[in-house]
Chain A
Amino acid sequence: MTMTNDRSAFYKNRQVAGYADVPFEEKQRLIDLVKADMRFPDYLYGCYECGICVAACPSARFYDFSPRRIAQAAARDDTELMYQQMQEDVWECSQCFSCVRCPRGNNPGGIITVLREVAVNAGLASAREALEGYSRIIYKIMSTGTQVSPDMLQPDAFPDWGPEVKDVSDNLDMWRRALPPETLHTTSTGWDVDEKTLLELYLIWFHTGALDMIAEVDEGLHMILQEVMEERLEDAGVEV
């Protein structure tokens, strides 16, 4: 009997999974970025396959997803599998961190956060696809300093939330004025955020490179944001 190193049977067919294959060196480059992340050693202490994370995981109930496989692939340094997970699995995680009940103290959800960041930074099509329809939130954060706002409650955006969404949308201005807290009379922002604070948030994203990530998710959005915010910074006399 001959032993074979052919492990192709273990991996999903790339054409079926819907992304073109890349050279191993490119996969290694991306996985090395994951392992070099400051948070990575805090998230992985070795996995003994108990599966407690899978039992606790909400995403594992509905998707072909397993936090155990995430931890295992990382612990085994399996570049091929980690790359596949980066392409196919990471966006199914609900980031609840129920998996942190791991008896070893691993954090598969945390490993996924890092995998996702590398995927976004690398401009992977799978990341862009997963975040399609999401970029309005990024725009909301950067232009208002809050992540969601009352005027996002439109019946065509949330038809499954029931008829009350239409009531909110129809009465928005009045219902917001009928809120006692003074900062909540806004409609296009969660609460009233002052200009200086908004600019500080933008500068944080600018200086940490988070802004560059937006360009990978939605180039058009990035351009608009840059234009709008640079004008506001100029008006405020802040040089970047």
Chain B
Amino acid sequence: MPIPVEALLKKKEHFERGPHDRRSEDFHHELFELEEQGEWIVQRAPEPIVPVNTKFGNVKKVPKAHLWHHKSCGQCGHIPGYSTSIFWVMRKLGYDYTDPRDQTSCTAWNYYASATSNAAAQAAVAIRNFATAYESGFFPLIHCGTSYGHYKEVREELLKHPELRAQVREIMGKLNKPMVMPEEIVHYSEWFYALKDEIAAKQVRDFSGIAATVHPACHYYKLVEGDAIYDADVYGGQRTAIVTGVAEALGAEVRNYSTWFDCCGFGFRHILVQRDFTRSFATLRKIERMKEEADPDVVLTHDTGCVTTLDKSQFAAMAHGRNVGVPVMSEAQFAALAMGAHPYKVCQLHWHSADYRPLLEKMGIDWEAAWAEFQQDLKRLEAGEKQYLTWDDVG
């Protein structure tokens, strides 16, 4: 019996997931029903909105402006150029936001590392942050991939379990905060994807000679898999479209490699107290594969843990003569560089480990001059001319 090769190949050309998939159930129905029942307030995504497609065909609303930046511990603490680039790009595109001091960590790194928490504590932390955003009038934008995936998990648990909602409501009562769930939980990389054309319109550096590999964060697309952006024009809709969509819009060549779906090896607990696992996995399954198969100029990803793991794991591996040595950054920093951002004042690449200088040279950036400029700024701070570098200083 002949194999229907043509029919099979035709299916691969354009992959469609339909509403018949049981996983296509749209959580918004339950979300708004609970609001009608008085269980919580659903904070609506403010206009202007960019509608994007998600895995099983549901449309997600990504607001462009009026955003409450829910920051990432690891980004702000260890790779602050990442957070800085997110703010910088948003400022350049002219969209208003707030950078809150009344935001706690999502505490999900701790939850996944040590389990020294429980469902109620995690849900209460999430709702407290959401309520605080709601009270400010700005809509939450989540910086970290794990915060994002975890908050999606929390949303599922709250939608499903009235007893959890009751527990959290009691705690919010003690804190004098309302029960609030945003209409969408939006990751910053979804904002970058939704605005990729506006970002590309402001591009001043030519990235046509830059080859990139993309590493997607597990917690972005594996947790609550239906709520992640998929685009028929990116990987034929077979892989999540964030990061890649932005890199391609900027003219970079995105190259494939065999371990695309693998975790980076962060491990939450492992990266802190059992790092031999993290760096072994990151080296053997990700960086070496990328180098052998794709030879990229840069590795792009969209999560704190992934940037940290893939960047920082290379030094020890190099000492063992492994095939490593490729710079790692977020697509936010990549986009900022494309838009003319200073590699040190904005992208803060001096906090990174793997050598990024060859990449900057390929981008046509004189990094020596840039570093000298940054050193000048540091001298001014040291001399007490000003206390901090400001947005006006970085261009």
Contacts and interface: CB of A to CB of B under 8 A. Distances in A.
B140 interface: no
Contacts of B218: 96-98
A61 B282 CA distance: 12
A42 B394 CA distance: 48
Contact of A181 (B99, B117, B273, B275): B99
Contact of B80 (A61, A97, A179): A179
A10 to B, nearest CB: 27
Contacts of A113: 111-112, 115
A94 B115 contact: no
Given A164-B350, A179-B80, A190-B77, A132 B125 contact: no
Contact of B119 (A39, A58, A175, A176): A39
Nearest to A164: B353
Interface residue tally of chain B, by bracket?
A: 35 or more
B263 A197 contact: no
Interface stretch (B6-14, B239-247, B294-302, B376-384): B376-384
A39 to B, nearest CB: 6
Nearest to B225: A100
B156 to A, nearest CB: 8
Given A177-B381, A178-B389, A184-B84, A137 B76 contact: no
Contacts of A63: 277
Contact of A58 (B71, B88, B161, B285): B285
Prevailing SS type, chain B contact patch: helix
Interface stretch (A11-19, A20-28, A77-85, A206-214): A206-214
B260 interface: no
A67 B393 CA distance: 51
Interface stretch (B38-46, B100-108, B206-214): B100-108
Given A164-B351, A210-B116, A94 B270 contact: yes
Contacts of A164: 350-353
B282 to A, nearest CB: 9
B155 interface: no
B219 A134 contact: no
Nearest to B124: A204
B263 A94 contact: yes
B37 interface: no
25 contacts: A42-B160, A61-B281, A94-B277, A95-B113, A98-B222, A117-B115, A117-B118, A120-B114, A133-B273, A134-B114, A141-B110, A146-B104, A152-B77, A180-B87, A180-B393, A181-B99, A183-B71, A185-B388, A190-B76, A193-B103, A193-B104, A197-B103, A204-B124, A207-B174, A210-B116
Interface of B: 71-78, 80, 83-84, 87-88, 99-105, 107, 109-121, 124-125, 128, 132, 149, 156-157, 160-161, 163-164, 167, 170-171, 174-175, 177, 218-219, 222-223, 225, 261-263, 265-270, 272-273, 275, 277, 279-281, 285, 312, 314-316, 345-346, 348, 350-353, 374, 377-378, 381-382, 387-391, 393-394
